[in-house]
Amino acid sequence: MPQNKQIHLDNRPQGEAAVANFKLVQAQTPELSDGQVLVRHHFLSLDPYMRGRMNDAKSYAVPQPLGQVMGGGTVGEVVETKNPKFAAGDKVVGMGGWQEYSVVDGSQVGMLRKVDTAHIPLSAYLGSVGMPGVTAWYGLMKICEPKAGETVVVSAASGAVGSVVGQLAKARGARAVGIAGGPDKCAYVVNELGFDACIDYKAHGDAKSLYAALKDATPDGVDCLFENVGGIGLDAVLSRMNAFGRIALCGMIAGYNGLPVPISQPQLLLQSRLKLQGFIVSEHMEHWPAALTELGTLVATGKLKFRESVAQGIESAPEAFIGLLKGKNFGKQLVKLV
Amino acid sequence: MPQNKQIHLDNRPQGEAAVANFKLVQAQTPELSDGQVLVRHHFLSLDPYMRGRMNDAKSYAVPQPLGQVMGGGTVGEVVETKNPKFAAGDKVVGMGGWQEYSVVDGSQVGMLRKVDTAHIPLSAYLGSVGMPGVTAWYGLMKICEPKAGETVVVSAASGAVGSVVGQLAKARGARAVGIAGGPDKCAYVVNELGFDACIDYKAHGDAKSLYAALKDATPDGVDCLFENVGGIGLDAVLSRMNAFGRIALCGMIAGYNGLPVPISQPQLLLQSRLKLQGFIVSEHMEHWPAALTELGTLVATGKLKFRESVAQGIESAPEAFIGLLKGKNFGKQLVKLV
C-alpha cells in the first residue's frame, strides 16, 4: 500500500490561525477490508468554514480533533477497491481530508459519489458544482428569492460561493453587485463573470466611504444581501437595504479570528423590516439534487464561469489555507495532489 | 360644537424626546359635513412607535408633521353623526390622535370600527385586543412559531405587547421567560401573567451578569426571542439561542433616542443558524381578523390578563409618553380623556 502524507491539526490557534497550527505526518495507507475503497486524491478543497472547526468553541461544526487529519472535501480516483459498487479508475467526490489518499467505506450512503468528468472538470465538484455552488444556490434561491429587477449584493464576490451567487442572480434578471478585495478581483467580477458592478473594499478605509461607493453601485437600493464576510461591509449594505429586504448569512470571515465585528445599526433590521437568516448548506441536503442539476448544466454548457487558485502538494495546504483566510486566493482555493 | 384640546408636535427632539417637544393647543371642533362623525375620545393609546415618528429621518413610519395633532390610536363614543352607518352612542376605535375629539369620515374603510363593550372593556381595544395584541400574535405565530416544550423569551414582558406574547406562548405549551425592569414588574409577570420566569434587567449591570441570570432561567436554551427593546438584552439572549432559533424583531426602544446599540456578536446569527425578522403589524392586515378573534375571546373569557397605566387628561399625554420611553409605565400606557 502507498505512503500517505497527511496534515494534522497540531494545536489550536490563539487569535489568528497560523501555519504552525498544523503538522505534516507521514503515514501508511492500511490494507482494505471488505466494502472499502482506496481513493487517490487529485484535489483538496480549502474552505473558510474550516477555520471555525479549528476552535474548540461552540460553533455550527464539530471541532476538528487535535492530532488527526484535517477534514475537508476531496475529488480523486479509485485506485483499489473491495466494493463491487466502485471500480478502479472511477472518479469520485468525498470528504477525504487533508491527505493524499483515503480509505472509504463505499457502502455508507453519501460517503463517496461517482461523478462525470466528460463534461465537467473534476475540480469543479469542489467548487461551482459542489458544496460552494450549492451554498450559493441555496442562500440565493431559498432565502433571498430575488425577483427580476431587484438588486443582489454579494461579498467575497470573486470567490467560490460569491461568483456563483452573482451569476445565478443575473440569470434570474436581477442586478448583481459584488464586493471584493482589489482592482483585479473587481475587474474579473464585472468583465468575466458579468456582474453589473463591483466595489473594491480595499479602496475604502471606513464604512462611510464604502457606503458612498455602494450607493453609486445600487441606485435602487439593495433587496438581497448574500453575506460571506461580515464586518463593515455588512454595516454599509444594511444602510442601503430596501424595505422587506433579505439577508442570507453564509459567512463571517471577519469574525473567525476571535474578534467579532458588531452590527452597528441593528435598528435598520427593524426599520426596513428585513429578514436575516443564517444557514449552512449541509443541513439542507434535500435541495442538493436540484441545485447540482442546475449548476452542473450551467458549467457543462459554459454558462457558469469560475476561477481556481491551485496550490501544489499537500505540504502547501496550511499556507494556502492561511492565505484564503486573508483573501489572497482568487477564486476557489484548491490543493493539487497529483 | 365642543372645544377640543389637542397636543401638537412643536419641534423635533435632539437626542432624547422631551415634554418640550409638544405643545397644548385649544381648538374648536368643526361642523360636520355629510358622511362625517364626531367622536369623543375616552382613551388615547401611547406607544413606542410614536418616538420614531417624531424624527425626520428615514424610518418605517412617515414622520409626524410639525404643528399638527400627534397621531395615535383612540377609543371613544360617537356623539354626533351625519353618517347612517353610525349612531350616537356607538363605541368606536380609530386613529383619532392626541386630542379630545375627532371628526372622521365614516365611509372610508378602516377609519372607524364599531366595537362590542358588553364583554370586552373599551380600553382593551387599544391594548390586548388592539394593535399591541395583534403585534404580539403576529410576531409569535408567524415568525417565532413556537412548538410545545420550546422556550420563548420576550423583553418588555409586562408591557402591552410582551404580556400577550408570554401568555400566548404558555397557551401553546412553550416555556415563557420575560425580561422586565424592576422586581414589581417581574413579580407581576410570573405571579399574575403566569410566565415561568422573569429577569429584572435593572438588577444586572452588564451583559455578563444578565447572561448568567438568563442561563438560569432558560436551562434548555432559547428557541424564540420576541424582541421589543434591543441593546444588551438582545446580546445576552443571542448567546443563549438554540440552533434554528427565531427572532421576531418588534421594537428597538434602546435605539430610538438617537443612539443605536450594536449587536456585538453577529456571528452567533450564523453559528446558530438563526432567523431574524423585523416587522410592523400594520403591514400584515390580512392576519388581523384571526388575531383579534382569538385575542377577543381570550380577554372576554378572562384567560388573557392585562394591566394598564392610565394618565388623566390630554395635558398629561406628553409626560406620560416620555415616561413610557423610560419604562415608567406598568402595562399598557393610556391617557383617559373623559
Contacts of A217-220 with C-beta under 8 Å, sequence gap 24+, read: A217/A177, A218/A151, A218/A153, A218/A175, A218/A177, A220/A151, A220/A175
**Residue in B255, B256, B277 closest to A275 by CB:** B277
Q: In the structure grid, which three cell numbers stand for residue B48, read together? A: 413606542
More confident residue, B115 or B110: B115
Integer Cα distance of A35 and A65 in angstroms: 26
**Do B226 and B311 lie in a common domain?**
no
In a domain, B296, yes or no: no
In a domain, B290, yes or no: no
| pLDDT > 60? residue A257 | no
**Do A196 and A325 lie in a common domain?**
no
**Do A75 and A45 lie in a common domain?**
yes
The CATH number assigned to the domain holding B205 equals: 3.40.50.720
Integer Cα distance of B301 and B338 in angstroms: 27
In a domain, A241, yes or no: yes
**Do A143 and A270 lie in a common domain?**
yes
Q: Which residues constitute the domain of residue A99?
A: 3-124+307-336
Tens of pLDDT, residue by residue over A262-273, are 898 898 999 999
Q: In the structure grid, which three cell numbers stand for residue B338, read together? A: 373623559
**Do A268 and A144 lie in a common domain?**
yes
In a domain, A298, yes or no: no
The CATH number assigned to the domain holding A73 equals: 3.90.180.10
What count of other Cβ atoms lies within 10 Å of the Cβ of residue A68? 12
In 3-state terms, what secondary structure has residue B245?
Answer: strand
Tens of pLDDT, residue by residue over B237-267, are 999 999 999 999 999 865 555 567 889 889 8
So what's the ipTM on this one?
Answer: 0.88
**Do B94 and B158 lie in a common domain?**
no
In a domain, B291, yes or no: no
**Do A90 and A177 lie in a common domain?**
no
Q: How far is A156 from chain B (nearest CA, A)?
A: 17
**Do A34 and A96 lie in a common domain?**
yes
In a domain, B61, yes or no: yes
Q: Which of B329, B299, B317 is nearest to B43 (CA)?
A: B317
| pLDDT > 90? residue B228 | yes
**Do B140 and B178 lie in a common domain?**
yes
Q: Is B10 exposed, middle or buried (0-12, 13-18, 19+ CB in 10 A)?
A: middle
Position B109 scores a pLDDT of: 80
Output the pTM of the full model: 0.91
Overall average pLDDT of the B82-93 stretch:
96
In a domain, B298, yes or no: no
Q: How far is A281 from chain B (nearest CA, A)?
A: 10
In a domain, B295, yes or no: no
**Do B114 and B58 lie in a common domain?**
yes
Average pLDDT, chain A: 94
Q: How far is A230 from chain B (nearest CA, A)?
A: 8
Tens of pLDDT, residue by residue over B181-213, are 999 999 999 999 999 999 999 999 888 899 999
* Any A CB within 8 A of B312 CB: no
| pLDDT > 70? residue A41 | yes
Radius of gyration of chain B from Cα atoms? 20
Confidence at A66, pLDDT banded by 50, 70, 90: very high
Overall average pLDDT of the A201-226 stretch:
94
What count of other Cβ atoms lies within 10 Å of the Cβ of residue A98? 27
Overall average pLDDT of the A210-226 stretch:
97
**Do B95 and B7 lie in a common domain?**
yes
Chosen for mutation from B234, B242, B276, B284 (greatest number of chain A CBs closer than 10 Å) is B276
**Do A142 and A270 lie in a common domain?**
yes
Give the total residue count for chain A: 338
| pLDDT > 90? residue B1 | no
Split into its structural domains, chain A has a count of 2
Integer Cα distance of B329 and B316 in angstroms: 13
A283-309 in b/e form (b: 16+ CB < 10 A) is eeeeebeebbebbbebbbeeebbbbbb
